[in-house]
Chain A
Amino acid sequence: MENDFSFIKELGDKELLDLYDKIVEHIQYLKENIIVISDGGDSSNVSN
């Protein structure tokens, strides 16, 4: 992904900050969707 990410050089400072915030928000969303799987094979969503 790093190679494809060179476009950030062209972004304005504000756009760069917005992109950062959106990625952080997206990572948070992804983390909340990880399903915790117990040793016995039971699973539950992290956000629950």
Chain B
Amino acid sequence: MSQIDDFYSMMESDKNYVDNFVLETNEGTKRLKEKFHLNASKERNSYIEKKIIDYNNSLEVIKNEMKLRFSQLMPRNRSLEYEKELDKIDAYINLVKLDLDISSSFKLNISFVLSSIQDDSSLDDLNLALSKFIDLFHQYGISLSIEDFKYTMFTEEYMRSFFSNADQETFKKVFEKIFFTCPDLKMQLKMNLIDIISKYQKKLDQFVSLHKKELYEKYSVNSSDVVSKYISYRGEVGQRIAMDEYYNTKLFLDSKKKIEDYMDSSPIREKNYNLFTPTKYSDLDEVKKKNFNDSIMDFYLTLNELKKYYRYEFIIKDLIERYKNKDSVKNEFLSKRKEIEKEEKTRLSIYKDYLKACGIGLFSHKNLNKMKDCMLKMNDQVKKLNQLYSEFNDIEITYYLSSINNSASIYDLFMISLKSFPFLEKCFLNREDFIDESFPKIIDEFFRFLYNPNNSILREINVFTDYDLVDVIASKYRLLNLNVTNESIQPETIDSTLESLRFINLIQNVENSNTSFSNIFILCRMKDILKNEEES
């Protein structure tokens, strides 16, 4: 007999002793009977109390053993290692961005500063954006001065005050003073920044080129392998994190998931599996189970891609409509650009006239009426330019669509969208579903979506054929013997389907890792026991 069996026998003996303890007697008077019962009760209580102390001591010993085992069983936390790897992934996506055919101001984050100046920006927001803009240029080796802010007489006046580090009160007064003669000051300053970007275009391009060369050497990548290296690295790290024993165990220890639901015998587990099998999952033979598990993993990744695609589908719809007009827009695009150049020259000449009217320059005399006239003209001119830029930005993206043909994939079209920052700005900043996120974060997520290692449908499906993406996906997985309906992967239903797939995916990740649900179950039980001890 083993020692544990001895211990269980001892417990059984206790039980027999307590159950069979004689508490009553038939002999003697009522008083004697009561006395017997009282003494017997005291004696049995004393036995029980001693036993309870002994067993509680035993529990303490077990808990100490559990504490030890818990720390031994608990998988190692690799968060710090992952943090480094995720930082490397961030660095890699920047390497990918540097290689894209997008503007240098986009690559260098200058465009985001411009987009932060909106109609509803406060004076503080405006000044913060100006500071950031100047700082960024400084980082890229370009020192901006008042000479760069002479887009209009108003921007110059405002920026003089800005560069003189005026206090907030003085600033407010300057702003108010200019505002009455130039209510569009914010817009003019924004256009001034656009003008600066254009003025230093070559220097920015050179900086990007040099910066790219340095970073590509540092990370040992080149233009032909940077995307594939990023995708494979991100895929590998992503898979390791998804299968990480510590993270997956923590999901259950922190009560984010219920371990009982994931155990073999769980009805919830069975229900989720059966959702995707034509018959019961448990009725499948081993080969079919293996095929099912391969297909379901693939389906999970595809649905994640589809779900994200739904989030950005509006861009594709817009671009498909624009593609129809791409040929007619070509000439319009070029003539609009010329028109802008011409109107920018007019703006410059208004500015020169203004300087003359101020009495600046040889043989010039101050002429207040002329000055006021120039200011009015300038306001109208910048408004006109702003309108022209807006029209130009709108057709720019359609113009870029000329570079693709009818065989383009969904992915190709998304990549075209990156070529026009104002288009992206217009797409995302007007949509309610993106309102809670900052624009740089939105674009960062969009990049990560485009370069997701698991994207396959985006790259394979032609964007211009009259396809039904849902039908293509559902048919594919039906052929792989999964029970998938078109209805289950529509924008309204995909979340619920993904929830079940996520459930199965977690099971697969745990079962393919170095831990198991039995281990996690044991850790959860030990944690509950030790937690109760801490609370008591």
Contacts and interface: CB of A to CB of B under 8 A. Distances in A.
Contacts of A14: 518, 522
Nearest to B42: A37
Interface string B41-76: 110110011011011111101110110010001000
A17 B524 CA distance: 11
B54 A20 contact: no
B65 A34 contact: no
A30 B38 contact: no
A11 B58 CA distance: 14
Contact of B57 (A1, A9, A11, A31): A1
B55 A30 contact: yes
Interface in B1-47: 2-4, 7-8, 11, 14-15, 18, 23, 34, 37-38, 41-42, 44-45
B178 interface: no
Contacts of B66: 16, 20
Given A2-B61, A27-B55, A7 B38 contact: no
A33 B522 contact: no
A2 B54 CA distance: 9
A41 B41 CA distance: 10
Nearest to B518: A14
A2 B57 contact: yes
5 contacts: A2-B58, A16-B62, A29-B15, A30-B52, A33-B44
A20 B529 contact: yes
B526 interface: yes
Interface-centre pick from A5, A13, A29 (highest chain B CB count, 10 A): A13
Contacts of B51: 30
A2 B42 CA distance: 26
Given A2-B57, A20-B62, A43-B38, A13 B522 contact: yes
A7 B7 CA distance: 10
A22 B8 contact: yes
A46 to B, nearest CB: 10
Nearest to A13: B522
Contacts of A2: 57-58, 61
Interface-centre pick from B23, B49, B55 (highest chain A CB count, 10 A): B55
A30 B525 CA distance: 24
Contacts of B37: 43
A37 B41 contact: yes
B395 to A, nearest CB: 69
Given A22-B11, A27-B55, A17 B525 contact: yes
B17 to A, nearest CB: 10
Given A10-B3, A13-B522, 13 more contacts: A15-B4, A16-B69, A23-B11, A23-B55, A23-B59, A23-B62, A26-B15, A26-B55, A27-B56, A29-B15, A30-B48, A34-B45, A35-B44
Interface-centre pick from B65, B66, B529 (highest chain A CB count, 10 A): B65
A20 to B, nearest CB: 5
A48 B455 CA distance: 67
A30 B14 contact: yes
Contacts of B38: 37, 41, 43
Interface string B232-260: 00000000000000000000000000000
A5 B4 CA distance: 9
Q: Which 3 A-B pairs have the closest CB atoms?
A: A7-B3, A35-B41, A13-B522
A9 B69 CA distance: 10
A35 B18 CA distance: 11
A41 B58 contact: no
Nearest to B61: A5
A7 to B, nearest CB: 4
Given A1-B57, A2-B61, A16-B69, A26 B14 contact: yes
Nearest to B47: A30
Contact of B522 (A7, A17, A29, A37): A17
Contacts of B73: 13
Given A2-B57, A2-B61, A15-B4, A35 B45 contact: yes
A19 B48 contact: no
Contacts of A34: 45, 48-49
Contacts of A17: 522, 525-526, 529
B301 to A, nearest CB: 35
Contact of B11 (A5, A26, A33): A26
A11 B55 contact: no
Interface-centre pick from B49, B52, B62 (highest chain A CB count, 10 A): B62
Given A30-B52, A34-B49, A41-B34, A23 B58 contact: yes
B59 A43 contact: no
Interface in B135-191: none
Contacts of A20: 59, 62-63, 66, 529
A29 B12 CA distance: 11
A24 B59 contact: yes
Contacts of B7: 7, 19
A40 to B, nearest CB: 10
Contacts of A8: 61-62, 65
